[in-house]
A and B are shown apart, each in its own frame.
Chain A
Amino acid sequence: MRDFEFEAPATLDAAVALLAEHNGTARPLAGGTDLIDHIRTERLTPDVVIDIKKIPELNILEHSADGLRLGAAVSCSRIATDETIRQQYSALADSASIIGGIQIQNRASMGGNLCNAGPAADSTPSLIALGANCVIAGPNGRREVPVESFCVTKGQTVLERGELLVEFKFPARPSGSGSHYRRFIPRNEMDIAVVGVGASVTLDGDTISDARVSLGAVAITPLLAHEVNDALIGKPATDETYKASGEVARSIINPITDMRGTREFRIHVTGVLVERVLREAVARAKS
């Protein structure tokens, strides 16, 4: 592999200073499951690799009345086995338990998954559906960006030089809410989503009082499907509502044809998945 320097700062300030100092030639290392392969294939050629796993803020996993704080470097296996996440933020646990195999889940983080800005990232639709905000630290202080605005295009994010994604902040889950993430792949495990759908719903009796649906692998970045949310809010939680929402989802996406599926297939599958994901999210909201 190409030569690079390695740093493992213990504080956020030190990491931001290192990133700023190397002015675009440094890359943060969390689980390394994408970064190390990208360096090996020279898709990325950093002069400095900065291991951020020793920084406490990036490893936080904290539940409070305000919601959930999730460090950008927390591994998928820690997310998938956290009992409160499984209960209250179940879409996150769904994503964390299907990214790669066990070996990848023990290293890979949702921060890394998001920063790669892949259209088919399995954690991003869940982050969007659950209303997560990205906390970003940089040379000019901190700022927050909603996850749905974080990816600018394929492989590109809002991060400026010297900036680091620190953590995700999720609002507290209202009572009567449920969430789910599901993807279509031709195998059972270890594959990249042909289409991925995340959804969070809140019920008031049998009426959907709030909904956030996110669609992955059907546009250049994962989408927050405003039109689908509008088609759900105020409607009864019934199969007809889910089917109509699936139709709306089909009408707002712009998928490509590639080796994983044709544009037409992706449009079809999106509708099917939206229905199924909503049905499961509602079932979880009721349980």
Chain B
Amino acid sequence: MSSKRIVTCTVNGREESFLCKPQQTLLEVLRDELDLTGTKEGCSNGNCGACTVLMDGKPVVSCLVLAVECEGVELETIEGVADHGHLAPVQQAFLENAALQCGICTPGFIMSTKALLRENPNPSEQEIRFYLAGNLCRCTGYDKIIRAVQDTADHKIA
């Protein structure tokens, strides 16, 4: 049996230390050890993007990251998006555009959108669709999501 490791990293701006086994994914640790259940498990094999979080500012699927790889990194999850209980503009835009139905994919889409708009504050529709290709949604048909991202970009803040 492998022994547990202590991993220290920053989660949503706060330093966190947790114990984990080498085979625990970041997704499992976020949900089961840190109680950050906003990050959702979809396919568990890297296809759907539901579990997207930002690792050192870059979107990754947390089901394909081992928690032990996170020593010293900076993580951002959906829990860090709202500002003291007030929806961030990207969240407000998803709400106003009805860019969700069942909501399982939404945290992943919002994290990818945040990264997209940091890299490219004025993306074209094609750039949005290309960047969000790793996030799947079976409810909206995507158009409402694209409009929500465009609205967020128009307001120039994620």
Contacts and interface: CB of A to CB of B under 8 A. Distances in A.
Given A102-B134, A107-B64, A107-B65, A3 B21 contact: yes
Contacts of A4: 2, 22-23
Contact of A190 (B23, B47, B63, B66): B47
A11 to B, nearest CB: 17
B65 A32 contact: yes
Interface residues of A, number: 30
Nearest to B69: A51
Sort chain B's interface into a size bin.
Answer: 20 to 34
Contacts of A49: 22, 66
B12 interface: no
B49 A103 contact: yes
Interface string A21-53: 000000001011100110111000000010101
Contacts of B61: 103-104
Contact of A100 (B5, B65, B66, B134): B134
B97 interface: no
A77 interface: yes
A188 interface: yes
Contacts of B115: 102
Interface stretch (B52-60, B76-84, B147-155): B52-60
Contact of A6 (B1, B55, B66): B66
Contacts of A33: 46, 64
Given A51-B69, A190-B47, A3 B134 contact: no
Contacts, number: 89
A195 to B, nearest CB: 20
Interface string A161-199: 000000000000000000000000000111000000000
A50 to B, nearest CB: 11
Contact of A102 (B25, B59, B64, B66): B59
Interface string B65-109: 110110000000000000000000000000000000000000000
Given A33-B46, A103-B46, 16 more contacts: A1-B24, A2-B23, A3-B1, A3-B21, A6-B5, A32-B65, A32-B66, A33-B64, A37-B45, A40-B44, A53-B69, A100-B134, A101-B133, A104-B46, A107-B65, A190-B47
Interface of B: 1-2, 5, 21-25, 44-47, 49, 52, 55, 58-61, 63-66, 68-69, 112, 115, 129-135
